[in-house]
Structure 1
């Protein structure tokens, strides 16, 4: 009888029972493994710094190799680098002659205050550990981080500007998190969900270790179930289980630690919802950081079938760090298999060791490592692991195939309806703003100060103001505003008082304007390049609020001067001879806590109808004051936020001075009502522009007129790699510059606004497709009409009934707006226009409306130049000549020659550009209305005003252009522009030979 038939199953049963009891009692099988030796080099509450296999310090001992500092993710134990001594990371690197170090953040639930840790704490701690390793070894450090630990490495390298770093190795570490989220979650859904979880879930709770383990396993439930089933099936075979027992115990129980709520919230908000590792502008203890500052080499280890750190997300480092030499090593394994297991021991760590040696000049670049190729500018619909890779990997192929087929079908629908999905998202964001805009009436309490209070109450920790590389929250800015309000009350400023604001575009200027709004006073925004005495008179200024930089200018005005901002160490020189000290008050010396608020004070008292600001414009050489009500501000702010689809993920870069309506109404207003961040700059310079859009993670850039030419036309301007900018918003951009901007910053668009200072008419080119168009009226904004116009008699045309005739498509008309709220007393008001007793405000601007309903500016009524040969519409001429590719700026103006107006168009050319006669004639053939100028010439330069608008005065003062190869005249006989000779010029101006 063959007893093996009986003893075999019995032996198997007994072995299974024995091993099972050992697992139940001790949590696993006893393997006899011992951890690798290490020494604690530094121990602080935030971390312990381990040095594995500490070197022999006796004379004659071999010096250790290059230091490699390994970083674990927050939810995993630092022991992950030494799961098995022979096959673990530290052991393999040591055997290769390197010097392995590990930072151990510990389990935060076992450290006092540990569950209050945030991401910045980990980044700063890692930076300190790098300093220690550098000090002990004297060598630059190679950083190696797994999953989120690799994200820490990237963030720390950017925070340190790559100081003392030899290279970075990231294992399955996502950078472009929205390019490929786990489980195929769509980016929009993932961003919204991450933002919600950060604000409403993990701001209140933490994650214990067991939940971290469960969450990790649920990301790949099929693989987890398969691993457990395989373990049970082999429970009788101890020898088969022992090689993988340490790894199994680590993943099932020992390797997981708690995760603090603040750290999770910050991860979800900054790096998933806002994707700021790609865009830049993430905050480390108030300092703004961008991965574009990484300059050391980077090796991204990518799992071909990794569904957590998916290849598309990991490869984002190439675009995010354009100044770094970026390499990749593709290995066919999943997420955890990148660093632990047989493939990691046989492939990953030997390759990483060879990488470190190559960087140290001690060997060739491993063949498996290749330079990372350029990444697509936009993530594909399915940026995840390919279907074929999934099917070929693991025993769960059939289940994964079914899942992928379902997801592929869903993605096909998503791709087909991508515009519909975006429309839904934008509508959800836009409708509440339009609804609020439609609800505003004269008695609605609304103002800048009130909106800032609402944001501070809703999102006190929300990032709001960025300046000089630092970030300030809504709560901090709101507190500063309230303190300034107390200071203003202390010096006697009351509701309704007009205060001149003469300040540079700095945080103190923003705070000053907001404080005056909260007090109910009027900010008179004084442009520094204007006649300040005249501005003070026109604005009815009672006193001047200034900063130290403008103090001397402010003192020349016959008003009391209040000085705000400039830092604590400033010296205002208040005792200079000839100066009356009593006329200057240093607001920073007022203790707000000692100011008693009077009974009349109520914060944010302003109604929509109330005057809030006075801005200035120069018309025909004269300074004109424009009144801006709270309604006008709200209209522009809500309209901008809607037209630009601004949200909390946006950072608005305010290049426009705050004294300019565009800076106050568009940049600041749009950002505040949208809850977006606003970044202020110290000045417009190409190097600063590129650095700050990356450092701040700028998504929207504000401009005015020709401002951006100062950047993109500068020889030093260079935009290497990708950028985060999606929109440029502003007014007055020349069409030639517009084309260059969208070419240089593709795929970003330009949203061009047209708005009257009183806010009665607002247009926006939201689509950005028709370059040069002012777009259409904003939904929810003022209603506009185009009244037919007779240019010869300068009259608005009427029908036989006596009512005004509406202009047809393609016909010139005067833009009229139906007023909402108070009407500026200087406005041209018309009644009985289209119906009995109706009221309209004339903008005095001439437009045409095309067949699609888009409006095109033709000219201002006062700017039309009437000549014996016909009218010249200056704006239309400037747009036409700008069709020539080489034209940069264009200005059209009249000169008086022989008692008649001679119309001249001056242009400047792009660097290196030339303007052939044929191109001029081709461009001018596009002129739809009126006649062209008599003379066109290339000016060597143009003077730009403070708002970057070309000034006509200097050009006109220069007189008639000289004959040259860059001067053309209109030949009446051929109807073409030809080069002007000296004889032709003499004939035009009437010179006698």
Structure 2
């Protein structure tokens, strides 16, 4: 195995600059950034951070939207052995203060478009030694980003990092309490992608793909020799071998070894694939993982919309212009695209695979996606930040086989357990638990919370679900969101799925409110479609024949809008805070 650098990320980036220097990695407006340019600038920025006193293991916070600087900052931090801590750019001063202080950030880099909330938080950020601002009109007392980069030499940086070192600290959404800093290692990312690629190949092989479809996938999935591998895996002999005990473990180790060697990966650098993730913010691990994948693959072109706000027409223009083959969105993003009146104006025929994640994508929405994009393959990914993050996935290729709430078969060890941790039979609801080398190193500075979710090597996810007759996991609800009314358990998402079908409803969040008789009563907080009017009785009546009486809302509140997370999830805790009084 040839080693290009003792630094985990720099080992890949050095190989890319050497063997694929003109490979186009980032497309952002008129900017087209090659691996060579990125390697040079991250060397310079890394040298700049060293002059600011950043050393191995230091935490560096940064706040950027999806732009080239986000990627530069991340890789530069990793090249010098420090730990990147990306921050949600929608944060208020209070939230900025909490995360920056909690992670012990030594340096804070940011875009000037977020300067106002950062300036308000700054007096309390006493551990931060330096602030670096990118963009126009930076505050006079901060270091200017381009100055920090341009004044430094393009010299290699050698700070050793390995599998067990922390690659990134991703903070959870904080929907059930204060945000927790999840420490994810380089090795966990490598192992997750090895498991993902192996399971993707095995499941695509089960579908008996045509040569044309195999070729289409080759232009979509960034894995060297994919078309040939799929053909081999579809043979009866190989499928029999895969059923033997231990074969899949040996193949997984082989994939791990393969992904560890840029000297082998470089032979796939020229097979360019073009991706876009317009509604996934990079500070969220659902999309952050792509920055690690890109260094492994080397053939991924990342198309980034310039607008901070999700703009369907900008997405359509980019797909048409750049011939994008793979698009990932949160379910809310996909809904906005398929419902947009301008969709039919654009040639979107290059799109082959649609990834969806960071929330359940209902079968009704998948059906619309397949109708609007003929021949589309839907890759439905599910997981948690603590698992780096993908744990299960499902592949949908035709409308007839769509299933609600199914997140597919796990790609790692998983079980469904009761309150005592005992495994339950298929069909019975319990908590989903996972065991894998992809699990987090722990919550930063919070051993107690880490011990609460880690038991005997198993990560207890807090998600409730069950195994269906085909061995696929069906997700029911978050454990902490279950409403108990009169001794009966009610799962809010089940009620929401019904109310979502009302033609006047745009969005809904179901919560429990205190009730003297029943303990808790079901309340639906409804956002209506623009220009629509409805009454509480109308919504309750709509539910009458579609669910048991105890599940039906006892009250309905109408809201102009619902609080939404950066990945399109309704913030139930915030809804409860705003609308949860009896």
SS at match of 2:180: strand
Deviations 1:9-60 (A, max 9, x none): xxxxxxxxxxxxxxxxxxxxxxxxxxxxxxxxxxxxxxxxxxxxxxxxxxxx
Q: For 2:15 and 2:375, locate their aligned partners in 1 and report how far apart those are by CA, in whole Å.
A: 34
Superposition pairs of residues 548-697 of structure 1, within 5 angstroms: 548-555=112-119, 556-557=121-122, 558=125, 559-563=128-132, 565-566=134-135, 570-574=136-140, 581=141, 584-590=142-148, 595=153, 602-603=158-159, 605-616=160-171, 617-638=173-194, 643=200, 646-647=221-222, 648-655=271-278, 656-665=280-289, 667-674=290-297, 675-683=299-307, 684-697=310-323
Q: Does 1:526 align with 2:56?
A: no
Q: 1:596 to 1:694 in 2, by over 3 A?
A: closer
Deviations 1:709-761 (A, max 9, x none): 34444555554444322222232144254443333233323322222212176
Q: Any stretches of 5+ residues in structure 1 without a counterpart?
A: 1-435, 437-443, 575-580, 790-794, 798-803, 962-988
SS at match of 2:117: helix
1:921, distance to aligned residue in structure 2 (A): 4.7
User: CA contact under 8 A between 2:317 and 2:346: conserved in structure 1?
Assistant: no
- Give the structure-2-normalised TM-score: 0.73
2:25 aligned residue: 464
2:468 aligned residue: 850
Q: Any stretches of 5+ residues in structure 2 without a counterpart?
A: 201-216, 223-270
Q: 1:462 to 1:640 in 2, by over 3 A?
A: farther
Q: Does 1:951 align with 2:515?
A: no
Q: 1:954 to 1:495 in 2, by over 3 A?
A: closer
User: CA contact under 8 A between 2:63 and 2:88: conserved in structure 1?
Assistant: yes
2:382 to 746, 754, 758: 754
User: CA contact under 8 A between 2:426 and 2:467: conserved in structure 1?
Assistant: yes
Q: Does 1:539 align with 2:168?
A: no
Q: 1:877 to 1:823 in 2, by over 3 A?
A: farther
User: CA contact under 8 A between 2:184 and 2:441: conserved in structure 1?
Assistant: no
Q: Larger radius of gyration, structure 1 or 2?
A: 1
1:941 aligned residue: 561
Q: Does 1:510 align with 2:510?
A: no
User: CA contact under 8 A between 1:500 and 1:525: conserved in structure 2?
Assistant: yes
User: CA contact under 8 A between 1:706 and 1:733: conserved in structure 2?
Assistant: no
Deviations 1:886-937 (A, max 9, x none): 7553322112244732122334466789988786456547x9xx94544466
2:34 to 468, 473, 477: 473
Q: For 1:565 and 1:851, locate their aligned partners in 2 and report how far apart those are by CA, in whole Å.
A: 53
Deviations 1:92-135 (A, max 9, x none): xxxxxxxxxxxxxxxxxxxxxxxxxxxxxxxxxxxxxxxxxxxx
Q: 1:771 to 1:959 in 2, by over 3 A?
A: closer
Superposition pairs of residues 357-506 of structure 1, within 5 angstroms: 447-506=8-67
1:553, distance to aligned residue in structure 2 (A): 3.5
User: CA contact under 8 A between 1:738 and 1:771: conserved in structure 2?
Assistant: no
Q: For 2:162 and 2:306, locate their aligned partners in 1 and report how far apart those are by CA, in whole Å.
A: 33
1:807 aligned residue: 424
SS at match of 2:385: coil
Deviations 1:804-840 (A, max 9, x none): 3x22111112212224266414334689x8xxxx532
1:786 aligned residue: 416
Q: 1:721 to 1:819 in 2, by over 3 A?
A: closer
Q: For 1:453 and 1:500, locate their aligned partners in 2 and report how far apart those are by CA, in whole Å.
A: 25
User: CA contact under 8 A between 1:547 and 1:565: conserved in structure 2?
Assistant: yes
2:521 aligned residue: 902
SS at match of 1:622: coil
1:777 to 389, 410, 415: 410
2:208 aligned residue: none
Deviations 1:934-988 (A, max 9, x none): 4466655323232222133564455489xxxxxxxxxxxxxxxxxxxxxxxxxxx
1:774, distance to aligned residue in structure 2 (A): 1.4
User: CA contact under 8 A between 1:709 and 1:737: conserved in structure 2?
Assistant: yes
User: CA contact under 8 A between 1:636 and 1:670: conserved in structure 2?
Assistant: no
User: CA contact under 8 A between 2:7 and 2:158: conserved in structure 1?
Assistant: no
Q: 1:886 to 1:630 in 2, by over 3 A?
A: farther
Q: For 1:766 and 1:659, locate their aligned partners in 2 and report how far apart those are by CA, in whole Å.
A: 26
Q: 1:500 to 1:705 in 2, by over 3 A?
A: farther
Q: For 1:751 and 1:591, locate their aligned partners in 2 and report how far apart those are by CA, in whole Å.
A: 39
1:496, distance to aligned residue in structure 2 (A): 0.8
Q: For 2:453 and 2:513, locate their aligned partners in 1 and report how far apart those are by CA, in whole Å.
A: 33
Deviations 1:304-346 (A, max 9, x none): xxxxxxxxxxxxxxxxxxxxxxxxxxxxxxxxxxxxxxxxxxx
Q: For 1:766 and 1:451, locate their aligned partners in 2 and report how far apart those are by CA, in whole Å.
A: 30
1:591, distance to aligned residue in structure 2 (A): 6.3
Q: For 2:13 and 2:503, locate their aligned partners in 1 and report how far apart those are by CA, in whole Å.
A: 44
SS at match of 1:752: strand
User: CA contact under 8 A between 1:466 and 1:696: conserved in structure 2?
Assistant: no
1:767 to 396, 400, 404: 396
Q: For 1:646 and 1:878, locate their aligned partners in 2 and report how far apart those are by CA, in whole Å.
A: 34
Q: 1:827 to 1:879 in 2, by over 3 A?
A: farther
SS at match of 1:692: helix
Deviations 1:608-633 (A, max 9, x none): 22112122221235333222222333
Q: 1:591 to 1:469 in 2, by over 3 A?
A: closer
SS at match of 1:619: coil
1:704 to 304, 327, 330: 330
- Give the structure-1-normalised TM-score: 0.44
Q: For 1:818 and 1:721, locate their aligned partners in 2 and report how far apart those are by CA, in whole Å.
A: 43
Count of equivalent residues: 481
SS at match of 2:405: coil
2:477 to 831, 851, 859: 859
Deviations 1:873-895 (A, max 9, x none): 22343345446677553322112
SS at match of 2:79: helix
Deviations 1:503-526 (A, max 9, x none): 121101111011111221111111
User: CA contact under 8 A between 1:635 and 1:759: conserved in structure 2?
Assistant: no
User: CA contact under 8 A between 1:654 and 1:668: conserved in structure 2?
Assistant: no
Superposition pairs of residues 248-327 of structure 1, within 5 angstroms: none
| Alignment RMSD (CA, Å) | 3.5
User: CA contact under 8 A between 1:446 and 1:608: conserved in structure 2?
Assistant: no
SS at match of 1:827: helix
Q: For 1:551 and 1:602, locate their aligned partners in 2 and report how far apart those are by CA, in whole Å.
A: 33
Q: 1:507 to 1:886 in 2, by over 3 A?
A: same
1:765, distance to aligned residue in structure 2 (A): 1.6
- Higher relative contact order at CA 8 Å, sep ≥6: structure 1 or structure 2? 2
Q: For 2:313 and 2:74, locate their aligned partners in 1 and report how far apart those are by CA, in whole Å.
A: 29
Deviations 1:659-701 (A, max 9, x none): 1111201x43444433211111123112211111112222212
User: CA contact under 8 A between 1:608 and 1:631: conserved in structure 2?
Assistant: yes
Q: 1:856 to 1:890 in 2, by over 3 A?
A: farther
Deviations 1:220-250 (A, max 9, x none): xxxxxxxxxxxxxxxxxxxxxxxxxxxxxxx
Deviations 1:353-394 (A, max 9, x none): xxxxxxxxxxxxxxxxxxxxxxxxxxxxxxxxxxxxxxxxxx
1:115 aligned residue: none
Q: 1:636 to 1:918 in 2, by over 3 A?
A: farther
User: CA contact under 8 A between 1:646 and 1:670: conserved in structure 2?
Assistant: no
